[in-house]
Structure 1
């Protein structure tokens, strides 16, 4: 999940990896369009944290609204809603 939520200007995302392998963390807008790829790399088992600064893959600030955080890892998928209030 992420904290704080709602957030402005950034939020911290915490996640756990139960099996070593490729992990993808992506943020989508309410229309289902990819906004940002935060992680796409191999991970070892463990707990991780990273920040989302409210910017897209091109470094542009995104609008206020609801965003979907999607995590995919070996044997695991999760979705969570995040709200950005500018």
Structure 2
């Protein structure tokens, strides 16, 4: 037997041969781990909110890459209406490298928004990106 062989044993009853033993041999290499995958991104990313359109809540995901300076970047995630008025600040803090998910619930507390188009913007370091979302009531 070489290193890439796998033997699997089990039982199965066959009424014709009255046999209940089988052995299967696989001669393929089996993957047992993740090779060459970098789990921390090397670039900023702002995902489209989900669900979109939404009611009553939506989730916004974003990725902060590892930075060579060793200093966590200041991250700002804000929501704006179509006139450019700031509606909400969802994140305003330094964030370590990683993937983040923020839930936006516009019908709770101070945000009682009407149906319509809104924008959310991520600023982190020199990265700035804006996306559109639709609230339907």
So what's the TM-score if we normalise by structure 2?
0.59
**What is the aligned residue count?**
85
Deviation at 1:75, TM superposition (A): 2.5
Q: 1:24 maps to which residue?
A: 76
Q: Which has the higher strand share?
A: 1
So what's the TM-score if we normalise by structure 1?
0.92
State the alpha-carbon separation in 2 of the partners of residues 26 and 83 from structure 1: 15
Deviation at 1:59, TM superposition (A): 1.4
Aligned counterpart for 2:88 among listed residues 11, 36, 39: 36
> Unmatched 5+ residue regions in structure 2?
1-47
Work out which of the two has the higher radius of gyration on C-alpha atoms and give 1 or 2: 2
Q: Is the 8 A contact 1:24 1:73 kept in 2?
A: yes
- Is 1:5 matched with 2:57? no
State the alpha-carbon separation in 1 of the partners of residues 49 and 132 from structure 2: 9
State the alpha-carbon separation in 2 of the partners of residues 65 and 48 from structure 1: 25
> Unmatched 5+ residue regions in structure 1?
none
**What is the aligned-residue RMSD (CA, Å)?**
1.4
Displacement over 3 Å in runs of 4+: none
Higher RCO (CA 8 Å, separation ≥ 6 residues): 1
